[in-house]
Amino acid sequence: MIASPPATTPWPVSDKDEADRSQADRSQADRDEWEARAWDAFCRRDRAADGRFVVAVDTTGIYCRPSCPARRPRRENIRFLPDPAAARGAGYRPCLRCLPDQVARDRQAVATAIARIDAEEAIPDLATLASGVGYAPHHFHRLFKRAAGVTPAAYARARRAARTADALASETSVTRALYEAGYAGPSRFYAESDQRLGMLPGQWRRSGAGAAIHWTMAETPLGPLLIATTPRGVARLAFDEDATMLAARFPAATIREAEPQAREHLVDQLSRIGPADASLPDAARRTAFIEALSRALRADRGTLRT
Ligand SMILES: [Zn+2]
């Protein structure tokens, strides 16, 4: 009988594991297990492990972030060290390909840009966002997408969509709501709103009158998520909401739980979406997750018709 390979746990490990790692009294078995997971993350070039440790290579004298694109050295030639300072202290130099010293700076740049998008009503352009954190636009775009799972523009549109939903519920007219949400004018608003609201803006204001909504609850890495769709688009994607709250939001709509087959399809779409970098604020990670799922559902209209 062939022995199965050891089970691996994806990064990030829990905070408790991280705290344990620094304890001098950790058992050898614990250290071996941690190193096995670190090696596994390194082999998979797991970006979620970046910032958790660095990999020092004895044969070249350099250290890398876990996701470095370079070829993997042999296991016996590497050491796992807690951070860049420890690696430099041990005489290693930073890799020029993966720039391991940049992990913290990159994360801070993305977090700063997210805070800026969150605070502004108009969607900031990429050049402004990038120069605000000291990066070239193209590079920053890639960095942001990698960390958040969506582009800066997509993230900003997700924020605007959330503001639109709130404004439609509180403003006295659709026109007032669209300006309140940060649209420059009605054309873009109407172009986007059908799919993003799953109904006409006027219907949304009239408590969902005439809309047929299907909902389901799904487990995600960021908590339970309410998914509500109509044949036109995505009516509602929200954490911390359930079918009761959906019914309260749309008392004039026809609301039904999704059929098992439709649910399975939704869950399948959802399972392809990775959460944003764990270093980002929870609210931003949820916004990014919702936007990634919303895009996937809008791209796959078959999901919505079932
Ligand atoms: Zn490297």
| End-of-domain residue from the set 83, 98, 113 | 98
241 or 304, which is more confident?
241
Which one of 98, 129, 145 terminates a domain? 98
Question: Does residue 201 belong to any structural domain of this protein?
Answer: yes
Cis peptide before 260 (omega within 30 of 0): no
**Which tokens hold the place of 108?**
């801070």
- What local confidence, expressed as pLDDT, does residue 22 receive? 54
CATH number of domain containing 66: 3.40.10.10
Q: What gap in Å lies between CA 159 and CA 302, rounded to an integer?
A: 25
Q: What residues sit around ligand 1, an ion, with C-beta below 5 angstroms?
A: 64, 68, 70, 95, 97-98
Reported confidence tier of residue 122, pLDDT bands at 50, 70, 90: confident
Looking at the structure of the chain, the number of domains it has is: 2
Is residue 81 within 8 A of residue 54, CB to CB? The reply is: yes
CB-side neighbour CA atoms (13 Å) of 175: 0
Domain that holds residue 293: 197-305
Rounded Cα distance between 293 and 271, Å, is 10
In the predicted structure, residue 6 carries a pLDDT above the cut 50 = no
pLDDT digits (tens, 9 = 90+) for 54-90: 999 999 999 999 999 999 999 999 999 999 999 999 9
pLDDT value for 195:
80
pLDDT at residue 171 in the model: 83
Spacing, Cα 97 to ligand 1 middle (Å): 5
First to last CA, the chain: 46
| CA of residue 95 to ligand 1 center, whole Å | 4
Per-residue burial over 252-277, b = 16 or more CB atoms within 10 Å of its CB, e = otherwise: ebebeebeeebbebbeebbeebebbb
Domain assignment present for 9? no
Q: Is 137 inside a domain boundary?
A: no
Contact 278, 111 (CB under 8 A): no
Q: What is the pLDDT of residues 199-250, one digit of tens each?
A: 999 899 999 999 999 999 999 999 999 999 999 899 999 999 999 999 999 9
Q: Which range, 23-37, 167-181, 246-260, is most confident?
A: 246-260
**C-alpha to C-alpha distance for 84 and 35, rounded to whole angstroms:** 17
For the entire predicted model, the pTM comes to 0.80
pLDDT exceeds 70 at position 255: yes
